[in-house]
Amino acid sequence: MSLTQLTYASRPFGFDAAMLSGILLDARRCNARDGITGLLICRADLYLQLLEGPEAAVDAAYRRIAADDRHMDLRLLTRRRVENRLFPEWAMRDDPARSWLWTKAQLDDGALDRTTEDEILMVFQRIAEDPPLI
**35: closest CA among 52, 21, 18, 50?**
52
pLDDT at 77: 96
pLDDT at 97: 64
Give me the sheet containing 46-53, strands edge to edge.
Answer: 71-82, 3-12, 46-53, 37-43, 93-96
Tens of pLDDT, residue by residue over 91-104, are 888 877 665 688 88
pLDDT at 21: 84
What parts of the chain have a pLDDT lower than 50? none
pLDDT at 133: 57
Question: Has domain 3-128 been given CATH number 3.90.870.10?
Answer: no
> Could you give the CA distance from residue 34 to residue 91 in angstroms, rounded to a whole number?
9
